[in-house]
């Protein structure tokens, strides 16, 4: 069995994709931690959707793209990342799903409907946190604009989906 721990982070340092050592509270590491948390929330949501729910497919695509985004964030500037970003395509899919949802508007208090809706709202708030952290990161380390747009649409999509699942 492969050993999961390396002990190399015991002093508060971790590695970027190219092996560069950075502090565990480096903004890139923090952003990736927030994205990881969002991905876990989306996993809960996806597990609660019915097998025939088309949102399962879109959420899985988002989750996979979030893994690619994390890879890009952990790649130091000037290094080449072999994983291709598809954030623009995911954004287009999110926009289509939002448009098809026929959202009528209105204020919603999370948790007032179904448990699924409450979990979607939790994922939505985490998506907003990720978006804010990405903008902070963008000031120090440029973030591809397609990632920033995808995160904005993702929280909108989750808001509409939560209301639909009330």
User: pLDDT at position 111, please?
Assistant: 74
- State the CATH class of domain 13-164: mainly alpha
| Alpha-carbon distances of 15 from 18, 34, 60, 80, 128, rounded to whole Å | 8, 17, 27, 16, 26
- Please tell me what DSSP assigns to residue 15: E
- Range from 16-25, 105-114, 138-147, 154-163 carrying the lowest mean pLDDT: 105-114
- Total number of residues shown for the chain: 166
d(CA 68, CA 144): 12
d(CA 158, CA 154): 6
Of all residues in the chain, the percent with pLDDT exceeding 90 is: 71
Q: Helix, strand, coil % (nearest 5) of the chain?
A: 60, 5, 35
User: Which helix H or strand E contains 23, and what residues bound it?
Assistant: strand 21-23
Query: What is the residue-averaged pLDDT of the chain?
Result: 92
Label residue 142 by pLDDT band (50, 70, 90): very high
Residue with the bigger pLDDT between 113 and 91: it is 91
CB-neighbour burial class of residue 45 (10 A; exposed 0-12, middle 13-18, buried 19+)? buried
Label residue 80 by pLDDT band (50, 70, 90): confident
């Amino acid at each position: 069995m492969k050993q999961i721990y390396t002990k190399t982070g015991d002093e508060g340092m971790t590695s970027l994709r190219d092996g560069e050592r950075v502090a565990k509270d480096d903004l890139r590491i923090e952003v990736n931690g927030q994205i990881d948390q969002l991905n876990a929330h989306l996993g809960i949501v996806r597990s609660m959707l019915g097998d025939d729910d088309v949102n399962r497919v879109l959420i899985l695509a988002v989750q996979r793209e979030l893994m690619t985004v994390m890879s890009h964030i952990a790649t130091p500037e000037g290094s080449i990342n072999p994983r291709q970003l598809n954030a623009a395509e995911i954004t287009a899919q999110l926009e289509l799903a939002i448009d098809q949802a026929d959202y009528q508007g209105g204020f919603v208090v999370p948790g007032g409907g179904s448990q699924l809706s409450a979990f979607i709202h939790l994922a939505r708030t985490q998506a907003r946190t990720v978006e804010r952290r990405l903008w902070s990161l963008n000031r120090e380390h440029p973030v591809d604009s397609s990632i920033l747009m995808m995160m904005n649409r993702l929280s909108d999509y989750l808001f509409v989906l939560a209301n639909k699942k009330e």
